[in-house]
Structure 1
């Protein structure tokens, strides 16, 4: 009998919390408008992937006095999984706080390797620059953001102008980067060492050429002209991420690149992105300051 009462009590708490979360999510969603599954590459272009070469735009419903800053979010997933459809909560929370959010998909391994993934992300940013004004966004204030593998890709786009030069763009449109427990900042070192179980699996997305590992590592492309960076790392993240982010921070400091580096106590790798469900966390707070956002509500 006692156990039954405890179970009913726990169930009631769970149901109450679920109800509160649903109400909260509905309130957040009401302040934003989503346009989903927009192709950022012409559907008749060679190599177009009908699922992966698409993005969603989340814009504040309230029209701003001036165009809103823009954040392009790149999902993680070890370069072989993940979907924009999981991260709508980030788009909604950014829109509620006065930011136009662009949540993208990109092609994954084994269909393509990381260089093509970075090309996809650059094309999504270029689409954003060309079209985001239609959604209330400022094409001159585009920032990239990513978690895990997406963080590594975001850092690469901010640091290496060649991805945009290949598209005929003379100036990198990325004005800053927000990196949430980023992976892949120094895959050249990581894949040369092969210190951890199952590291061989990363040869699928990165290939077997060390020159490619280096070319796809943002650490080696940061320069004195790189845009501002926010780097957030979980205190209990994976050792490889902890080491590469410290090296990245040291390189930013050496070159004098404007940046913030914050270690979040007690956080593991996955919770570093899950905390973005809560709009008052430190990542959103610093992000809003970086992009110059003013609330849309």
Structure 2
């Protein structure tokens, strides 16, 4: 109880500090190419507060869209808000989607893009005023899954990638002269905090439930033919280990073996895409493993409320539903841990 009271006081103090702080003018660097893979240019946008302070804390964002649609632009409003109101250098990331490269991209390649992108940011963010030793990661929906993959599988790096028996990951971008194994040994993907917005955590269950079939409407949104996320001949019945390897729910380490950074999870009470009970089940697993994680459910919020603008079909609007979450919970959480 004393810890809970102390934590509440810390958050209240952080929020009070933020509430009285001036907002920052922000410079945006658009469409920075951080890698090119299989003919696909991977880019990010960087938002830098204009301030005399040096080595500002960093937030790296991964967009959602069911691994099938969208790009980093759907996170523009959140990126601007964090830089303007929090004073963070924000890296708004892109990655390959399943329909890319003629609908041949695999889920492990998406994870490898996300791992590589974070390594690129940590290697280059000082050029944009950021501190590579104070980094938080965040993402919504599919981006929440990818954020959680960094946390739970960011040390399972292998030069052979998914071709090996270990089903490890070979990041799309690596620091010059370093192998995947060396990055893993150095814990190169380590971050200081994570905010996971209505994340997805079990792709094995999702595939068993029809994710790879036409009944998943996101394939239609992407104008792509439904298929297995690992390509021809691989399905959750024949290769369950593939699906579990890209599912955070099966990769949570015991805190006695590896301590994950603090995580703040949140979800809307009427979200049917990533339901509150599914998010709670994952947070419960984290806590059972001794990891530091908290969950807040926002009454009346639906899915995708962190996205830029409004999504009429979901009744979700950034200004109405995301800004209060950012003000009351996300900014204080980040300030506490960065």
User: What TM-score does the superposition give when structure 2 sets the normalisation length?
Assistant: 0.69
Question: Match of 1:292, SS?
Answer: helix
Which shifted more, 185-194 or 260-269?
A: 185-194
Counterpart-to-counterpart distance in 2, 1:286 and 1:206: 37
Match of 1:251 in 2: 285
Match of 1:205 in 2: 229
Deviation string 1:116-143 (CA, Å, 9 cap, x unpaired) is: 1111111110011001111111101111
Corresponding position: 1:214 with 2:248: no
Match of 1:175 in 2: 192
Residue 204 of structure 2 contacts residue 243 of structure 2 at CA under 8 Å; is this kept in 1? yes
Question: Match of 1:211, SS?
Answer: helix
Q: Give 1:293 deviation, angstroms.
A: 7.2
Question: Match of 2:67, SS?
Answer: coil
Residue 141 of structure 2 contacts residue 198 of structure 2 at CA under 8 Å; is this kept in 1? yes
Question: Match of 1:266, SS?
Answer: coil
Match of 2:56 in 1: 68
Question: Match of 2:57, SS?
Answer: strand
Counterpart-to-counterpart distance in 2, 1:243 and 1:206: 28
Which shifted more, 89-98 or 199-208?
A: 199-208
Residue 25 of structure 2 contacts residue 49 of structure 2 at CA under 8 Å; is this kept in 1? yes
Note the residue ranges of structure 2 that are not aligned, 5 or more in a row: 1-21, 159-169, 171-179, 220-225, 309-316
Match of 2:305 in 1: 271
Query: Relative to 1, partners in 2 of residues 1:234 and 1:272: Cα closer, same or farther, differing over 3 Å?
Result: farther
Counterpart-to-counterpart distance in 2, 1:85 and 1:272: 12
Residue 78 of structure 2 contacts residue 307 of structure 2 at CA under 8 Å; is this kept in 1? no
Match of 1:4 in 2: none
Which shifted more, 72-81 or 202-211?
A: 202-211
Counterpart-to-counterpart distance in 2, 1:75 and 1:67: 25
Counterpart-to-counterpart distance in 1, 2:26 and 2:49: 5
Task: Tell me how large the CA RMSD over aligned residues is.
Answer: 2.8
Match of 1:34 in 2: 28
Task: Report the number of matched residues.
Answer: 260
Query: Relative to 1, partners in 2 of residues 1:131 and 1:163: Cα closer, same or farther, differing over 3 Å?
Result: farther
Residue 182 of structure 1 contacts residue 241 of structure 1 at CA under 8 Å; is this kept in 2? no
Corresponding position: 1:188 with 2:177: no
Corresponding position: 1:83 with 2:71: yes
Question: Match of 2:51, SS?
Answer: coil
User: What TM-score does the superposition give when structure 1 sets the normalisation length?
Assistant: 0.78
Counterpart-to-counterpart distance in 2, 1:106 and 1:234: 26
Counterpart-to-counterpart distance in 1, 2:273 and 2:65: 17
Match of 1:125 in 2: 118
Deviation string 1:104-124 (CA, Å, 9 cap, x unpaired) is: 110111231211111111111
Corresponding position: 1:286 with 2:280: no
By percentage of residues, which structure has more helix?
1
Corresponding position: 1:105 with 2:94: yes
Q: Give 1:56 deviation, angstroms.
A: 0.5
Counterpart-to-counterpart distance in 2, 1:100 and 1:134: 11
Q: Give 1:164 deviation, angstroms.
A: 5.4
